[in-house]
């Protein structure tokens, strides 16, 4: 690949890096072998002045850090990546005693800068960007609550007006802008040639722990990821290129490359210096397969029990059940918010290798195991006149009737593969919340023959589906399905005519029970009294108790249980808070379902 530049140094670096890009001039071959783990050698700046202005013309000739191999890409399906002109990159590194210098030339046909009004340091900004992660102790082995991440530093570089370097702490869910006097990033886009140049200076005091000496021979683990946003209405990156993404068949989030500072070119002596091995890890990063299997066995040994007011809700189901529920809830509480959001983004944009790497250990592994269990259990027949409601592991519901299935707010990795076969329609109560849907499942439903209905009252970005062609339901109206189920939309419009961000639903299953899904915005005046067999309710609805007492269901399932925090402004609902909700619902019985559990409901006898 030849990236046309305006800077001599970049052209020279391209000439030095002779590895063919994306199979150029190569005959078709068998599946390529994984790439070697990158080891980067960083030369000193010495007396060369580097102005952080977005131009690399003042940089010396350097070997390039290449991100232009197809194996390094994530998110290429559904025409998300159209070749090296759509996304490929080469980076360059220099150092001095005070800072690390980064230059990165990205080939990208359409550049998305950050909207000046939308920078939110606590969330994931929607803009083309370069993300740099440094692990000074070289002991990071996973995402999530891996103790090796405690001293890691991550920096976000993007085209935004303030030209500030943003330091993320994804593990703790915080972010800040670095002092502009010592840190700076400038991004320039050459529209004619489709090249975006990132140039940044990051102080070592922001990268290394206090007391760590900057000198030749210093080795730090590193990850470099380039995010490509190709749709103006999409808040998620469609394609990503990562330094270590090609090192395995899955993208292991705990697999980082290494960089070494050297004194000068002569120190290389024509060969890469010997890198010290990564240190051993005293504490396991995250629980593995055996732990989650044992936890699941304990859960299966203590099935869900309805709370009817006898004793305390925390005692419902016995001591063993509450112990396993507390264990699951503690894992959900500790899951870093940004990691949780990023997992959903990777699922939505079909970045299957990244999802597989994340789901190889920790809580995502548990979710994956429980999703497989739901898929298998959903094959069991349901008696006529009844439905079986499954709590999907990452959130949402699968409802199995004697005829067909339907889903509500279905989420989770591989949901389309595990659940699509029997799903007749899908209901979205909060469609613009990315943690309450699965875009790949919805796409399969939209393009099925014949198409399967997706009930949403708000349009949102769905790849390959124009927002203007998305069919929207109208609150207050009823809709039918092929098997005779009736879907009643429940909601209201605001004073300005806009719809509320959530919508509630009543679903009448033919010859079966009536189910009410109560969202956060539902009002008591929007539903008639009686006639409900099962209510699945959001504790975030301020009128919840009044609604439940008005409709008088035989049973209530409490929603929003065992979820991770997804919004820094909204407090996560703990198991303890759910027990308080159960007390408030009395005398109507209620039940809490753990990930993958189910509850069978039968129609009232008339």
3-state secondary structure 365-415: HHHHHHHHHHHHHCCCCCCCCEEEEEECCCCCEEEEECCCEEEECCCCCCH
Phi then psi for residue 227, to 5 deg, are: -100, 135
How do the domains of the chain map onto residue ranges? 8-266, 311-593
pLDDT at 496: 86
Partners of 535 in the β-ladder: 516, 556
Distance CA 582, CA 309 (A): 9
Sequence-ordered list of residues with C-beta below 8 angstroms from that of 476, at least 6 positions apart, any chain: 489, 490, 491, 492
Among 170-174, 376-380, 426-430, which stretch is predicted with the lowest mean pLDDT? 170-174
CB atoms within 10 A of CB 322: 18
CA–CA separation, 335 and 172 (whole Å)? 9
The answer to whether 197 and 57 are in contact (CB under 8 A) is: no
Place of tokens 């949102």: 460
Q: Which residue has the higher pLDDT, 114 or 429?
A: 429
Does the pLDDT at position 117 exceed 80?
Answer: no
Q: How confident is the model at residue 158 (pLDDT cuts 50, 70, 90)?
A: very high
- Decide if pLDDT at 431 tops 60: yes
pLDDT value, residue 6 = 34
pLDDT digits over 488-523, tens only? 999 988 888 888 999 999 999 999 999 999 999 999
The pLDDT value given to residue 14: 30
**Which CATH code fits 311-593?**
3.60.15.10
Distance CA 267, CA 43 (A): 10
Nearby residues of 200 by Cβ (< 8 Å), 6 or more positions away: 52, 101, 102, 103, 155, 157, 165, 183, 184, 185, 186
Residue 219: beta bridge partners? 260
Mean of the pLDDT values across residues 551-569? Answer: 95
- pLDDT value for 43: 95
Going by pLDDT thresholds of 50, 70 and 90, the confidence category of residue 180 is very high
Q: What CA–CA distance (Å, rounded) separates 599 from 398?
A: 11
Per DSSP, the three-state class of 151 is coil
Q: In terms of CATH architecture, what is 8-266?
A: Sandwich (2.60)
**What's the rounded mean pLDDT across residues 101-112?**
95
Residue 28 has pLDDT above 70, yes or no: no
Output DSSP code: residue 81: -
- Say if residue 40's pLDDT is above 70: yes
pLDDT of residue 577: 96
Instruction: Say what the pLDDT of residue 447 is.
Output: 94
pLDDT at 170 over 90: no
**What is the rounded average pLDDT for all residues in the chain?**
91
Under the banding of pLDDT at 50, 70 and 90, the label for residue 605 is: low
Hey, what are 403's tokens?
């005829």
What is the predicted pLDDT for the residue at 17?
A: 35
pLDDT at residue 283 is higher than 90: no
């Amino acid at each position: 690949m030849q990236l046309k530049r305006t800077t001599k140094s970049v052209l020279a670096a391209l000439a030095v890096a002779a590895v063919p890009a994306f199979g150029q001039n190569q005959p078709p071959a068998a599946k390529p072998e994984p790439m070697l783990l990158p080891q980067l050698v960083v030369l000193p700046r010495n007396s060369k002045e580097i102005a952080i202005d977005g131009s690399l013309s003042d940089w010396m000739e350097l070997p390039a850090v290449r991100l232009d191999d197809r194996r390094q890409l994530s998110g290429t399906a559904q025409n998300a990546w159209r070749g090296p002109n759509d996304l490929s990159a080469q980076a360059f590194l220099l150092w001095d005693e005070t800072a690390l210098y980064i230059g990165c030339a990205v080939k990208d046909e359409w550049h998305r800068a950050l909207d000046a009004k939308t920078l939110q340091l606590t969330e994931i900004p929607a803009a083309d960007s370069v993300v740099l992660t440094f692990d000074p102790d070289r002991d990071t082995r996973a995402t999530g609550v891996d103790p090796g991440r405690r001293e890691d530093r991550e920096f976000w570089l993007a085209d935004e007006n303030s030209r500030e370097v943003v330091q993320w702490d994804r593990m703790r869910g915080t972010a800040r802008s670095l002092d502009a006097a010592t840190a700076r990033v400038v991004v320039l886009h050459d529209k004619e040639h489709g090249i975006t140049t990132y140039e940044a200076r990051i102080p070592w005091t922001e990268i290394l722990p206090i007391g760590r000496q900057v000198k030749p021979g210093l080795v730090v683990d590193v990850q470099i990821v380039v995010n490509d946003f190709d749709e103006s209405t999409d808040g998620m990156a469609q394609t990503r290129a990562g330094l270590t993404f090609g090192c395995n068949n899955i993208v292991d989030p705990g697999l980082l490359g290494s960089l070494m500072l050297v004194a000068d070119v002569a120190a290389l002596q024509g060969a890469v210096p010997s890198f010290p091995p990564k240190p051993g890890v005293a504490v396991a990063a995250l629980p593995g397969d055996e732990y989650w299997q044992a936890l699941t066995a304990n859960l299966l040994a203590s099935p869900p029990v309805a709370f009817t007011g006898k004793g305390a809700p925390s005692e419902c189901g016995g001591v063993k059940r509450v112990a396993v529920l507390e264990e699951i809830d503690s894992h959900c509480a500790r899951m870093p918010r940004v990691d949780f959001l990023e997992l959903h983004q990777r699922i939505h944009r079909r970045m299957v290798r990244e999802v597989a790497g994340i789901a190889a250990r920790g809580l995502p592994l548990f979710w994956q195991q429980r999703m497989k269990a739901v898929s298998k259990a959903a094959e069991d027949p349901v008696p006529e006149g009844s439905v079986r409601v499954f709590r999907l592991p990452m959130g949402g519901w699968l409802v199995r009737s004697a005829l067909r299935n339907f889903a509500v707010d279905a989420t989770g990795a591989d949901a389309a593969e595990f659940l699509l076969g029997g799903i007749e329609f899908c209901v979205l109560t909060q469609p613009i919340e990315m943690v309450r849907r699965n875009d790949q499942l919805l796409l399969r439903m939209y393009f099925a023959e014949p198409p399967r209905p997706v009930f949403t009252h708000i349009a949102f970005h769905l790849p390959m589906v124009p927002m203007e062609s998305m069919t929207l339901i109208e609150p207050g109206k009823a809709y039918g399905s092929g098997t005779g189920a009736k879907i009643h939309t429940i909601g209201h419009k605001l004073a300005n005519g806009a719809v509320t961000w959530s919508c509630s639903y009543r679903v009448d299953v033919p010859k079966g029970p009536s189910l009410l899904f109560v969202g956060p915005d539902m009002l008591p005046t929007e539903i008639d009294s009686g006639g409900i067999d099962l209510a699945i309710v959001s504790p975030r609805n301020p009128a919840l108790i009044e609604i439940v007492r008005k409709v008088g269901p035989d049973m209530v399932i409490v929603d929003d249980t065992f979820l991770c925090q997804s919004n820094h402004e909204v407090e996560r609902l703990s198991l303890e808070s759910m027990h308080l909700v159960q007390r408030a619902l009395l005398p109507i019985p209620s039940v809490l379902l753990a990930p993958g559990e189910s509850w069978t409901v039968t129609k009232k006898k008339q």
